[in-house]
Structure 1
Amino acid sequence: MQGRCFTIASERVVMSSRVENPAAQLEIHGQLAEISPWPMMILDSRCLLVSSNSSCRKLLHSSISLNPGTPFEQLIREKDRPRIQDWFDNLIAEGNPQERESKAEVSIPPGSLKSIRCRLHSPISRWRKIKLTAKQFVDADQCYFLICLDDARHRIKNKKAINKQRRLMLSLLDNTGAVAYAKDLRGQYLYINSLFEELFHVDRLSVKTMTDYDIFTDDVARIFQKNDLNIVQSGEMQRTQEVVPHDDGLHTYISVKFPLTDSNGEIFGIGGISTDITEQLHNQQELQAAQAVQRLLYPDKSPSFAGYDMAGSVLPAESVSGDYYDYITVAPGRVVVAVGDVSGHGLGPALEMVEVRSYLRAILRTEVRLDVAMECLNEFLYHDLRECAFVTLFLAEINFQTHSFHYVGAGHRADFLKANGDRICLPSTGLMLGVDERVNFQFSPQFVFEPGDQLILSTDGICETMTPEKELFGREGMIDFVEAHRSEPASEIVERLLNTCQKLNGLETQADDMTAVLVKRI
């Protein structure tokens, strides 16, 4: 095959060069050899080397000097030399009728003189099998030969490499987890991978006579045909969403389709890789439903009491949050403010947050003390939470008539900021929820709410925010922020606090959910 390409290429160039400048054949053939990817050399009528290209020198590995004037016979195995000399003689005779008559007795007939096999010197294996293909040309009345060297071993090696690459590509397509295929311009399949076979119950041999109309319903096939036509008309890769029937129902795919082109850039078919996104779409719909439910469960507004300003908000790290805050009225003028954090973030913790809310509201309907309520809640969560999951929770029962509050903390703390500048830490009074079945919680002493005092409840997503300088925002940073804005409404302070933490993260993904509730006595 390579010998045929050599001959065709040289014949085309020589034919065109004859038209351009018949007196510059040596220069033209030298340029042809230099740009050729194949090993080539030029010999004169005495079989002396005129020039060789880099591929030729690489093939022979400079085992013998390839300087101009080097006899070609030095490169040939001695046993082959007479046969090669006859070959050259007959080449000359082919181009000259008088010479042809005088060489009528040679052993190789003129019709077989285009190519010949021999062994050339090689440093790798002493003699290398080579197929020589020659083209005779004349320059300034001198006869020359353009010789193309076809290395059988190299060709076999290239063929093995191509086959290896083909097997690798087929293996990748068979294990890619997506449906892969190729079609010609008539819509007939040229190739399908193993997943295509499995899902649509066809095999690679029989599919080569099929179109989409033989595999899918007419409605589906028409859509595929329309999408394929767009690829051919645009000549560009396109992404489309396609719905395909499976044994278990309809599946949605993202299909990346692209034109297949030949060596001349002409489109001869369409290739495609289609990825099943049915499960992702289902999960997305579930997540959207969870978001809608969660938005309904968060307080739509804060309680309103004379002389007080309250606000709370959540900034989730993902689409749904594992953080929890709530206002639960337990008696006239008495409200339990709750802030909690389920370990992790995402859909799982968000669902567990809903469970915490439901249990807590049911328990507090009995008007039990906060420490007893927390112990009951812990027993429920111990049996229900995911393995290794836990919940931190802070409950503050505020009596707006007596301007006082008690609290219980389960692995969770809060901060009471006095109008005189004192900062009172409200530490946890018991273990986090869901870790141990039997846990006792302490009921805090009473704290008095005076005008100008602020109670700030938050989750650790705020305090653990990292600045661009990789410094921790910290609890002190949060308290300083609240103190610096104490003259502003509670809703603005909470909103600004969360926005500030979000900006501090910069372009980095938010590491955790953030929740803050602020209660101010005016």
Structure 2
Amino acid sequence: MEETKISMYQLYKDMLTSYLASKSEHALYHAQQFSKEMMEKDMSPEETVSLHLTVFQELAKDLPEEVVDSFDILLEVMIGYGLAYREHQSLRDRQQQLESELTVAAEMQKSLLPSGKINLDSVDLGFISVPAGKMSGDYYDYALDEHGNVGVAVADVIGKGVPAAMSMSMIKYAMDTLPEKRSRPGSLLESLNRVVERNIDSDMFITMMYGFYNPENFQFYYASAGHEPGFVYDAEEDSFRSLEAKGLVLGVSRKVTYREDQLQLNVGDFIVLLTDGVTECRVDGEFIEREQIVEMIRKYKHLPAQKIVDEIFHELEKAQEFQLRDDFTLLILRRKV
């Protein structure tokens, strides 16, 4: 340690002597290099000021007393600055660690969601889910069972950040344990509600819409737990209507029943499920109207389902200057034949 101090003292003395003699840019460049040495040796700002005073007193004899005394003030200032700087560095290091951990968690969360295609000639499925931050509070699911039926779900955790993301993961695992209830939307939501009510805080709850399409009878069965209404497109009439279903949000009360509704899908008809991150997008500073979303879907309805959801997302993302304010999830299921 003592050798290090002697080495730094000599380096600084040589650098300062050179600068006082030449006033050259080259000497100032050496000062910049010395700052890197300071960081490597973990020198504090007050140690640097003290080093400067010691060297300067040796080079410039008989310094005025007030000049020497002024360094006392500078030392105190640097001590305060040094403490604040070290605290800032510690907080920054901690923040970087948290950012790294969140990135890993976000990747793990993404791996829990479905990403492949459904190989079913009678169904065209498109989906997009984009988090506003690293972690998402939205959940979506689609699955093809052994009978060729398709289950689709969209959910939104009322909350932000890691707690919301953990709740989303809980919903995914609960869904995986209830394969026998996927064909009964109302019963499935009742089971999920009991899981949510037991496992999340009272100030959090989850909205969800789940649907089940049977390509044998072309019926779409669905139920909602307080979720944002979707849309139904009628190809024959070229019209849209809201996909409405009543039901209490998940997690409020254990004893809740959910009504199951159904509708028939004809060729070309499609179902739209979404979260409020879509309906609460802002266009020209105002929340988008549901009618505007319908018009966007209408503009792209001739495209495959995946292309429709992609185009709508890009259009709304651009309208918000590429800054999402909430998690964005949009899913379309269309009957092809």
TM-score, structure 1 as length reference: 0.49
Residue 280 (structure 2) aligns with = 464
The answer to whether the 8 A contact 1:409-1:428 is kept is yes
Pair 1:292-2:107 in alignment: yes
Question: Structure 2 residue aligned with 1:435, among 231, 247, 252?
Answer: 252
Question: How many residues in Structure 1 have an aligned counterpart in Structure 2?
Answer: 282
The answer to whether the 8 A contact 2:149-2:214 is kept is yes
Question: Structure 2 residue aligned with 1:500, among 315, 323, 329?
Answer: 315
Q: Deviations over 1:129-184 (max 9, x none)?
A: xxxxxxxxxxxxxxxxxxxxxxxxxxxxxxxxxxxxxxxxxxxxxxxxxxxxxxx9
With over 3 angstroms needed to count, the CA separation of the structure-2 counterparts of 1:481 and 1:276, relative to structure 1, is same
In structure 1, the gaps of 5 or more residues are: 1-183, 189-229, 245-254
> 5 Å matches for 1:42-57?
none
Report the aligned-residue RMSD: 3.4
Displacement of 1:517 in angstroms is 0.5
Question: Structure 1 residue aligned with 2:199, among 380, 384, 407?
Answer: 384
For residues 243 and 431 of structure 1, the distance between their equivalents in structure 2, rounded to whole angstroms, comes to 62
For residues 481 and 306 of structure 1, the distance between their equivalents in structure 2, rounded to whole angstroms, comes to 26
For residues 233 and 242 of structure 1, the distance between their equivalents in structure 2, rounded to whole angstroms, comes to 14
For residues 363 and 243 of structure 1, the distance between their equivalents in structure 2, rounded to whole angstroms, comes to 60
Pair 1:481-2:279 in alignment: no
Pair 1:307-2:122 in alignment: yes
Question: Structure 1 residue aligned with 2:164, among 349, 370, 373?
Answer: 349
For residues 463 and 447 of structure 1, the distance between their equivalents in structure 2, rounded to whole angstroms, comes to 24
Displacement of 1:462 in angstroms is 0.7
Residue 519 (structure 1) aligns with = 333
> 5 Å matches for 1:45-444?
233-234=31-32, 272=82, 273-274=85-86, 275-277=89-91, 278-366=93-181, 369-412=184-227, 413-419=229-235, 420-444=237-261
Please give the secondary structure, in 1, of the residue aligned with 2:139: strand
Please give the secondary structure, in 2, of the residue aligned with 1:442: coil
The answer to whether the 8 A contact 2:118-2:143 is kept is no
With over 3 angstroms needed to count, the CA separation of the structure-2 counterparts of 1:370 and 1:256, relative to structure 1, is farther
With over 3 angstroms needed to count, the CA separation of the structure-2 counterparts of 1:242 and 1:511, relative to structure 1, is farther
The answer to whether the 8 A contact 2:208-2:225 is kept is yes
With over 3 angstroms needed to count, the CA separation of the structure-2 counterparts of 1:313 and 1:185, relative to structure 1, is farther
Q: Aligned partner of 1:431: which letter?
A: L
The answer to whether the 8 A contact 1:236-1:259 is kept is no
Displacement of 1:500 in angstroms is 1.7
The answer to whether the 8 A contact 1:235-1:259 is kept is no
For residues 257 and 288 of structure 1, the distance between their equivalents in structure 2, rounded to whole angstroms, comes to 37
For residues 163 and 301 of structure 2, the distance between their equivalents in structure 1, rounded to whole angstroms, comes to 36
Higher strand share: 1
For residues 156 and 291 of structure 2, the distance between their equivalents in structure 1, rounded to whole angstroms, comes to 20
For residues 257 and 291 of structure 1, the distance between their equivalents in structure 2, rounded to whole angstroms, comes to 42
For residues 283 and 386 of structure 1, the distance between their equivalents in structure 2, rounded to whole angstroms, comes to 23
Q: Aligned partner of 1:418: which letter?
A: D
Please give the secondary structure, in 2, of the residue aligned with 1:501: helix
The answer to whether the 8 A contact 2:233-2:270 is kept is yes
Please give the secondary structure, in 2, of the residue aligned with 1:481: helix
Q: Deviations over 1:239-280 (max 9, x none)?
A: x99899xxxxxxxxxx999975888xxxx9987422214432
Please give the secondary structure, in 2, of the residue aligned with 1:408: strand
- Structure scoring higher RCO (CA < 8 A, sep ≥ 6) equals 2
